[in-house]
Every structure is written in structure tokens, then in C-alpha cells.
Chains A and B, each alone.
Chain A
Amino acid sequence: MTELQMKEQVLRMSGVDPLKCMRCGKCSGTCPSYDEMEYHPHQFVYMVEKGEISKLMASDSIYKCLSCMACVERCPRGVEPGKLVEAIRLLAVRRQGANHLKPDDIPAMLDEDLPQQAIVTAFRKYTK
């Protein structure tokens, strides 16, 4: 896929219109995972607009997003940056062999209290 095709795919999956962004940066002001991310929520919006999808797909940032929707809730323009992160992450893990979480690694991660919710969510978020 070309960058442009990937951009179109991301826009279609997420339903986000990056042109609505007025570059206020509230998403990055509110993001709880900001310091863990290489690219920050407002950069996701801008980079999608510019069509730089593969850079975002290659970055660890897509796995650092907590999916807490704070940026979606508080964006004054209804841009919903969190949905872009999610779409790009899906694009990344849907590639052959690109699952971010391997079933074989699971046993080592478990402890007796870990709720099922954590595992099923991780599978849904990081694998295809």
C-alpha cells in the first residue's frame, strides 16, 4: 500500500477528519501516556493529515496509548485522535506475523490475580 492508500484506509476505519483539527494541543495536554510516546496525540492527527502513516505504524507509540479516550472526550473540535491511534495500530497488527502479543508469551505474564479482562483486551488490542 502506498502512504496515500494507507491514509485513506485510516480515515475510513476511524471516521476521523483531521482537517477539523485547529491545532490547540488539548489532546496532548490531557494525554496520560504522553511521556511514554514518541509521537503524541496531536502529532498523530497532523501526521495522518500529511499522510505519514508508516512512520506512525513503526513507532512504539501505538502500543503506549491507553485507549482512555481522554483526548476524544476533551477535543474541542470533535477530532477524536484516539481513534486514529487505534486505526493505525490495527493496520500494523493486521499485517502477516505482526501480532504485537504472541500467545506463547502469555504464561510468563500471568499472575494469580490478573483478571481475564486484561488478557482478552490485550489480545483484542495487539493482535489479529
Chain B
Amino acid sequence: MKVSYYPGCTLKTKAKELDKYGRKSAEALGITLEEIENWQCCGGAFTSASDEIATKLSSVRALAEARDKGQDLVTLCSACHNVIKRTNAAMAKDADFAMKANNYMKLDTPYNGETKVIHYLEMLRDTVGFDELAKKVVNPLKGKKIAAYYGCLLLRPGKVMAMDNPENPRIIEDFIKAIGAEPVIYPYRNECCGGYITLEDKTIATKKSNKVLHSAKVAGAEMVITACPLCLYNLQKNGTEDLPVVYFTELLAEALGVKED
């Protein structure tokens, strides 16, 4: 099975592991990630203002390419996922925005939100299935207590992202179970780590990160996993709690036995 894949800028540089292990695992699961040709950076943040058109065109281009290939578009980075899924929803539902964007793009076939955007985790849940995934695990991470960190980008706004219950998600917890480990539920798993403000004010970023890490630690976590490079950076660099943070794909690759070549 082939899907279109949008890695995003960070996965090509500072978050190579997120990308590398994601690709390896997908292959092991029988899915080929076909990188969108000449993709451009999504900009990292979706601007909700209705008169912001140009900043969303790179996402539209990627979406249209996937549509032309007749494939779903898979993303891995939480930020890219948020931007592309929300842009897609705007193209489908906001006729005015879609018209303006199409006027800029001059595509052969105008794009109106036809592509299905899915996060890698959704692909694991809906395409592969967590039960199937569990069967393919060769190194179950037995006894490891892992805290899922959703952050704010993966789930909100809930009506657009529609990935899981935004207040009581379970997709990463189910993933953790599938790779043989034990999920730790803690209240701050869907609260913001303050990553966006790291350039503006490090002290806020530190405060917010520590709140998340502390919450996970009190709940008994030995490790935090995330899909967001900025969360990972912020929790590790600005957070002062001693708790490792890794990409979920790294654990996936480990469990599937494809981590080392």
C-alpha cells in the first residue's frame, strides 16, 4: 500500500529520528511512504485569520499533489499535521478561501479539500490496526511505563482534527499498549508545553514544560513520547525535570525490531 507523505522541514534536520524510524516502521508494516515532490515548509502554525491566504498555499500544493495521485496524505510532525489538516478543512468548507487560494495556485484541477489527511498515528490505528501492529511486534517493551504527550497541536481544534476525544484521547495510549508497554494517564498530556514561546520568553516555556513533565512523573511515568519536534525540544531543553522524552516512532521501530540496520 502506498500513501503520500509530507515530512516537513524539521524532520529533515533536527528531527531526523522522527522521520527515519517512521519510514522504517512503515516499511516493516507494509506501507510505502511516498514523499511529496518538492514540498515546501507548511510554516509551522495555522493562522486562523480568514484573510491569510499566501501562508497556506504550500499546504494546498501538497494536498493537491496527493489528490492527483489518488492517495491519502500522511504526516508525522504534529505541527505539519495541524497546519495541513486545518488548511484542508478550510479548502473544503470555506468557499471564499478556496476560491482565493485556487486563484493563486492556478492548478489544472482546482483543489477543494478532496484529500484525506491522516496522521501517522491514525494510519497505525485505522489502516494497520493496533491489534495487527501488536502481532508484528518482535521486541515488546514489557513493563515500561510510558506517558503519551499529545500537546495542543494533535487534538485541537477537536472538530477539525477529529482524531480522538480532545479531552480524553487514547490513540497514543493504545499505541503504547500495542508495542507491549504500559501507558500512564496523566492530566497534562493534552496541555500546552509552551513551545511556541521559547524564542519569546524562556521562563514561560520552562514553567509550562515542567508542569507537563511533573504531572507525568507524579503519575509514575518513566518516559514521555511525542510526535512533535518542538515539544520534544522544549520539554528536554527548557524543562528541568529529569524524564526522557523520545519520538514515538523510535519506540515503534524498536518494538518492530527495525531500529538498527
Chain A interface residues toward B at CB < 8 A = 12-15, 32-33, 36, 63-64, 66-70, 72-73, 80, 82-83, 86-87, 90, 101, 109, 111, 113-122, 124-126
Tell me which of A64, A90, A101 contacts B199 (CB under 8 A). A101
Cβ–Cβ < 8 Å partners of A69 in chain B:
152, 156-157
Chain B interface residues toward A at CB < 8 A = 8-10, 13-15, 41, 43-45, 47-52, 55, 77, 79, 152, 155-158, 166-167, 191-192, 194-201, 204, 208, 211, 229-230, 232-233, 236-237
Cβ–Cβ < 8 Å partners of B230 in chain A:
115, 117-118, 121
Cβ–Cβ < 8 Å partners of A72 in chain B:
156-157
A117 near B44 with CB under 8 A, answer yes
Main secondary structure of the interface of A (DSSP, over half): helix
Q: How far is the CB of A80 from chain B (nearest CB, A)?
A: 8
Cβ–Cβ < 8 Å partners of B45 in chain A:
67, 121, 124-125
A111 near B208 with CB under 8 A, answer no
- Subset of 11 A-B contacts with CB under 8 Å: A14-B48, A15-B48, A32-B211, A82-B48, A83-B49, A116-B9, A116-B13, A118-B44, A118-B198, A124-B55, A126-B200
**Distance in angstroms between the alpha carbons of A52 and B8 in the assembled complex:** 39
Cβ–Cβ < 8 Å partners of A111 in chain B:
237
Q: How far is the CB of A42 from chain B (nearest CB, A)?
A: 18
Q: A32-B208, A120-B9, A122-B199 are in contact. Are A90 and B156 (CB under 8 A)?
A: no
Cβ–Cβ < 8 Å partners of A101 in chain B:
199
Cβ–Cβ < 8 Å partners of A64 in chain B:
197, 200-201, 204
Q: How far is the CB of A16 from chain B (nearest CB, A)?
A: 9
**Distance in angstroms between the alpha carbons of A117 and B82 in the assembled complex:** 13
A109 near B199 with CB under 8 A, answer yes
**Distance in angstroms between the alpha carbons of A69 and B191 in the assembled complex:** 10
**Distance in angstroms between the alpha carbons of A63 and B200 in the assembled complex:** 8
Q: How far is the CB of B217 from chain A (nearest CB, A)?
A: 18
Q: Beyond the given A14-B49, A101-B199, please list 8 additional residue pairs across the A-B interface where CB-CB is below 8 A.
A: A32-B192, A69-B156, A116-B9, A117-B44, A120-B9, A121-B43, A122-B200, A124-B55
